[in-house]
């Protein structure tokens, strides 16, 4: 299997790149943010639990998020692999993901980390907020909190995957196609080396 963690701060372009890459490589795209938003729309129990955290730009607690992610993976038996977009965001989530994949005799092939300056992130998110309908994109103080949460709680995961020889940093600034090409170079090389066939 090829299992990619698409990583980066809010506004780095994870969702955009994941939807292109899933078609190119035939992978299942799981965006935890999208799953939460769908649940909020459908007014499920999960949605009700997640809503208050998302509105403030805080992380949804690990136990809720991990359970949801496990269900999403289990709903896709027979997949060639996954693109995890917005997950993991904490060390507990990274450990849970490793354990879940190990049970399925597979693992993470690579973390692809999109690198973008904070100033550009804020500009991109405010622009996206004009059309996304997302309350957490519309308010600059919530955007800044999401970026702060990324640095405080999530960025350490770069080290987690670096220590396991799975970290690949990618320049996330430029045209969408250029960035896709940069990611493809890494993924194609990994597949050639068979590193991704676990």
From candidates 32, 106, 109, 196, binder to ligand AMP by CB under 6 A: 32
Q: Cβ–Cβ contacts within 10 Å for residue 149, how many?
A: 18
Of 9, 4, 35, nearest to 143 (Cα)? 9
Q: Would you call 95 helix, strand, or coil by DSSP?
A: helix
Annotated catalytic, 146?
yes
Per CB under 6 A, 65 contacts ligand AMP = yes
Catalytic residue selected from 51, 56, 104, 134: 134
Instruction: Return the exposure string of 47-82: e unless at least 16 CB atoms fall within 10 Å of the residue's CB, then b.
Output: bebbbeebeebebbebebbbebbeebbeeeeebebb
Per CB under 6 A, 86 contacts ligand AMP = yes
Per CB under 6 A, 144 contacts ligand AMP = no
Per CB under 6 A, 129 contacts ligand AMP = no
Per CB under 6 A, 53 contacts ligand AMP = yes
- Residue, CB closest to ligand AMP: 33
Instruction: Give the Cα-Cα-Cα angle 4, 164, 91 (nearest 5 degrees).
Output: 75
Annotated catalytic, 182?
no
The residue ranges that bind ligand AMP (CB under 6 A) are 10, 32-33, 36, 53-54, 57-60, 65, 86-87, 89, 93, 136, 146
């Amino acid at each position: 299997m090829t299992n990619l963690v698409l990583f980066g701060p809010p506004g780095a372009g994870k969702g955009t790149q994941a939807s292109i890459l899933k078609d190119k490589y035939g992978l299942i795209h799981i965006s935890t943010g999208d799953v939460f938003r769908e649940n909020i729309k459908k007014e499920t129990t999960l949605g009700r639990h997640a809503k208050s955290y998302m509105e403030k730009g805080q992380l949804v607690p690990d136990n809720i998020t991990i359970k949801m992610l496990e269900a999403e993976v289990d709903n896709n038996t027979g997949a060639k692999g996954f693109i995890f977009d917005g997950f993991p965001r904490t060390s507990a989530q990274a450990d849970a993901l490793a354990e879940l994949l190990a049970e399925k005799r597979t693992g993470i092939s690579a973390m692809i980390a999109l690198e973008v300056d904070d100033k550009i992130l804020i500009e991109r998110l405010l622009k996206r907020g004009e059309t996304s309908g997302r309350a957490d994109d519309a308010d600059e103080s919530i955007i800044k909190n999401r970026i702060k949460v990324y640095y405080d709680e999530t960025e350490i995961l770069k080290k987690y995957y670096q220590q396991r020889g799975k970290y690949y940093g990618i320049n996330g600034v430029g045209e969408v196609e250029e960035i896709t090409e940069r990611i493809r170079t890494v993924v194609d090389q990994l597949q050639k080396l068979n590193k991704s066939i676990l």
